[in-house]
Chains A and B, each alone.
Chain A
């Protein structure tokens, strides 16, 4: 069982929809991350939040909008996605950015 909880587990949406992915952890971690993982590929870092502030944006298109409302929650707001955005989206957290990351089980996103 993972201590990083991601919802929903699966999401199917059209290209004009707006949806959000949610990530929650109660380990007191102060760094949280979003990754994108395509099939048979390693995860690719998208965003890093450190102490609720965005510290890294890996040149992610603006149709992905992260939000960190508090130290336990991390959201990824989605709007006007493209079919190539279909992937597994993984959330991770760590005590701070110097410590190893703990991953959630991901949200499998399909764009129609």
Chain B
């Protein structure tokens, strides 16, 4: 069975500074990988996804993520954080394209706090 680990429960970053959120997955083959963001009181919004191809994926809101097979990682980055980026971020994995919608496994989440 696949699993996802987000090692950082909380991250505090200053506005304008760069942000990197870590995600490690465990799966026998190449999984399908996602990052979602959840603002307080809201549902999850898809930031980006990786299915295949270029390992550097661009998403919405200025986010990008890099798939590194050798490290089983899919870390999320943003060069300059805005106060509105304060939220909970979830990395998720699905074992196959057919299961991308069905069997998402989420990491525990990383809460990002943005200091003025």
- Which residues of A line the B interface, CB within 8 A? 2, 4, 6, 31, 33, 40-43, 45, 48, 55-56, 90, 92, 94, 96-106
Select from chain B the residue with minimum beta-carbon distance to A104. B43
Main secondary structure, interface of B, reads: loop
B43–A2 touching, CB < 8 Å: yes
- Chain B interface (Cβ < 8 Å from any Cβ of A): 34, 36, 41-46, 49, 90, 97-104, 106-109
Q: Do residues B108 and A101 form an inter-chain contact, with CB atoms below 8 A?
A: no
Q: Which residues of A contact B107 (CB under 8 A)?
A: 42
| Residues of B with C-beta under 8 A to A92 | 43-44
Give 23 A-B contacts (CB < 8 Å), ordered by A residue.
A2-B43, A31-B102, A33-B101, A40-B109, A42-B109, A43-B106, A90-B43, A90-B44, A92-B44, A94-B101, A96-B101, A97-B102, A98-B98, A98-B99, A98-B100, A99-B100, A99-B101, A100-B49, A100-B100, A101-B101, A105-B41, A105-B42, A105-B43
